[in-house]
Structure 1
Amino acid sequence: MRLLTTLALSAALLAGCATPDRDARLQPGVSRSEHVIALYGQPKRVWPEADGGRTLEYSTQPMGRHCYMVRLTADDRLVAIEDGLSAASRARIEPGMTPEQVSRILGTERSRVFFRQSGEDVWDWTVEPDQTGYGLRFNVYFKDGRVVRAGHSMVFPSRLFPGMDD
């Protein structure tokens, strides 16, 4: 009996660490929005799709490094789950895109800063670090409501406040 209790507790703990993109309990074509919401709570945003479906946004910003986009059909069945902050998703950001187009791909940003001198509005997202091991942010620069460029910046550890990012 003790072994069964330990196994059940271990399974519950592992399920608690699951992410939508790796959760075996969510099956494309079978799972519905209520399954996703029961497991992961209410989404940060819900994006309507042209085909009548919708996308549920589960952003982990500002501290996390992922944004899970859960795509559902018009009849509420799971199609796919993608990480909006993956390298492939970030590569889709191009000059000329609107803020809404960027948000639909990357999800809710970590922060926004407006630079008066250049007239640029810069949004950033915390993403997985590269091989250097330093923190990494993906930055999108908007001017007059359109993307002008995008790129990465490294986040170095704070000397004044260890454990905090500069």
Structure 2
Amino acid sequence: MLALVGLVAVLAGCAVLQEPMATPGQTEAEVLARLGTPTGRYTLPAGAQRLEYATGPYGRTTLMVDLGGDGRVTASQQVLTEANFAKVRHGMRRDDVLLLLGRPADKAGEYMNRQTWSWRYPTYECQWVRITFEPDGRVRGGASFLPDPRCDADE
């Protein structure tokens, strides 16, 4: 019985930690009332829009809410995932990376006028993903995974 109570407590805790999502069919006004002002707004084809809700710089999630041309939600998802990081390819444009992953947690200047962007994401390994851009705004290489400097090695 005690094990069952513990399991219920853990599952309840997981439910609380879930990011609020937008539901397909909701209006933009309903999304804004529930989630607040987006951290970014991107134009999609056919009058559609993507609303970004980034929790950075220390958060590990970015919710993207897609609105159709009619202003209603067509999809919403947490985009900071290894599956999305795998979509980043050499030569990809900076704007396309923003559309895919949202704003980074950190931006750093690099050698030869390159810039590296970093995102924290949900992982047990305490990593973050880094993407370097050439001066022309295109990805150099792809995504790389490194230890998150915010993690304490002693813990």
Is 2:80–2:101's contact at 8 Å kept on the other side of the alignment? yes
Correspondence for 2:9: none
Q: TM-score, normalised by structure 2?
A: 0.80
- Offset of residue 18 of structure 1: 5.0
- Offset of residue 68 of structure 1: 0.6
Correspondence for 1:10: none
The reply to whether residue 126 of structure 1 matches residue 120 of structure 2 is: yes
Unaligned runs of 5+ in 2: 1-13
Greater relative contact order: 1 or 2 (C-alpha under 8 angstroms, separation 6 or more)?
2
The one-letter amino acid of 1:125's match is W
Correspondence for 2:23: 27
Task: Spell out, residue by residue over 1:69-96, the C-alpha distance to the aligned partner (whole angstroms, 9 max, x if none).
Answer: 1001011111000222112211111111
- Offset of residue 45 of structure 1: 1.0
Q: Secondary structure at the match of 1:141?
A: strand
Unaligned runs of 5+ in 1: 1-13
2:146 to 150, 153, 164: 153
Q: Percent identity?
A: 26
2:95 to 80, 94, 100: 100
The one-letter amino acid of 2:62's match is C
For 1:71 and 1:43, locate their aligned partners in 2 and report how far apart those are by CA, in whole Å. 12
**Given the superposition, is the C-alpha separation of residues 86 and 158 from structure 1 closer, same or farther in structure 2, using an over 3 Å criterion?**
closer
Structure-to-structure mapping, 1:72-87, within 5 angstroms: 72-87=67-82
For 1:134 and 1:16, locate their aligned partners in 2 and report how far apart those are by CA, in whole Å. 22
Is 1:59–1:67's contact at 8 Å kept on the other side of the alignment? yes
For 2:131 and 2:75, locate their aligned partners in 1 and report how far apart those are by CA, in whole Å. 26
Task: Spell out, residue by residue over 1:52-71, the C-alpha distance to the aligned partner (whole angstroms, 9 max, x if none).
Answer: 01010000111111111100
2:45 to 41, 50, 62: 50
Q: TM-score, normalised by structure 1?
A: 0.75
Q: Secondary structure at the match of 2:32?
A: helix
- Offset of residue 17 of structure 1: 5.4
Task: Say what the alpha-carbon RMSD is for the aligned residues.
Answer: 2.2
Is 1:20–1:81's contact at 8 Å kept on the other side of the alignment? no
Segments of 4+ moved more than 4 angstroms:
14-18
**Given the superposition, is the C-alpha separation of residues 152 and 17 from structure 1 closer, same or farther in structure 2, using an over 3 Å criterion?**
closer
Task: Spell out, residue by residue over 1:102-151, the C-alpha distance to the aligned partner (whole angstroms, 9 max, x if none).
Answer: 111100101111123x442110000112xxx3311010011122101221
Correspondence for 1:11: none
Q: Secondary structure at the match of 2:92?
A: coil
